[in-house]
């Protein structure tokens, strides 16, 4: 799946929010954080800084963390401060999947029209396959049907239904089915 520049910026902003919240923790709590010693030291330094220096430090830590898996950090922070960051991250992830699926469906219909072919509910979708891999409970046929209905009618109800469907599957995963 291709990630647009806007989406890349949103993801970096989410990581930056995580880093800001981590920097607010006490040094004893930071020491127990599941990250490298370098990041721990940088977070401790950031808590002592003010103004522009602090912003630069936080952006640098964000840069270090952007290529690493962050699930353990989100879980650690959720245990300390609550699940708000995790919920926001999941919300944006599901929005991205829905938008990607709908954009691919619109392009597929346009392609079929250009080739004078009939577009059906069983169209080929790499995005639906990616979603099914990321969310094991998601049924590819359901996603294809809902995207097809949205493109045919442009009714936002179908878009919202895709979002609710993906959110429900994510919740099932989180609570162990």
Q: What is the DSSP letter of 136?
A: T
Task: Say how far apart CA 169 and CA 110 lie, in whole Å.
Answer: 30
CB within 8 A of 65, min separation 6: which ones? 15, 18, 19, 35, 39, 73
Question: What is the domain class of 86-174 according to CATH?
Answer: mainly alpha
Tell me what pLDDT residue 107 has.
Answer: 93
CA angle 17, 73, 52 (to 5 degrees): 35
CA 44 to chain centre: 27
Which of 83, 62, 74, 87 lies closest to 11, judged by CA? 62
Same fold, 5-81 and 86-174: yes
Query: Which residues in the chain show pLDDT less than 50?
Result: none
Tell me what pLDDT residue 1 has.
Answer: 63
Tell me what pLDDT residue 48 has.
Answer: 87
- Give this prediction's pTM: 0.67
- Can you spell out the DSSP letters for 2-21? ---HHHHHHHHHHHHHHHHH
Number of other CB atoms surrounding residue 77 within 10 Å:
22
For the chain, the domains span 5-81, 86-174
Which of 106, 110, 84, 108 lies closest to 159, judged by CA? 106
Architecture label for domain 5-81: Orthogonal Bundle (1.10)
pLDDT of 60-111, one tens digit each? 999 999 888 888 888 888 887 777 777 888 888 899 999 999 999 999 999 9
């Amino acid at each position: 799946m291709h990630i647009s520049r806007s989406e890349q910026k949103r993801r970096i902003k989410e990581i930056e929010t995580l880093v800001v919240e981590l920097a607010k923790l006490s040094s004893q709590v930071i020491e127990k954080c599941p990250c490298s010693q370098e990041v721990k030291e940088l977070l401790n330094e950031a808590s002592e800084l003010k103004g522009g220096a602090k912003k630069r430090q936080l952006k640098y830590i964000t840069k270090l963390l952007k290529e690493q898996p962050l699930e353990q950090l989100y879980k650690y922070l959720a245990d300390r401060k609550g699940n708000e960051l995790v919920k926001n991250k999941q919300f944006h992830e599901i929005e991205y999947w829905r938008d990607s699926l709908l954009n691919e469906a619109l392009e597929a219909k346009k392609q079929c029209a250009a080739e004078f072919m009939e577009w059906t509910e069983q169209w080929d979708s790499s995005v639906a396959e990616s979603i099914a891999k990321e969310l094991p409970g998601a049924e590819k046929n359901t996603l294809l049907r809902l995207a097809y209905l949205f493109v045919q009618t442009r009714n936002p109800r179908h878009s919202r239904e895709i979002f609710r469907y993906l959110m429900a599957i994510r919740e099932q995963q989180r609570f162990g089915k």
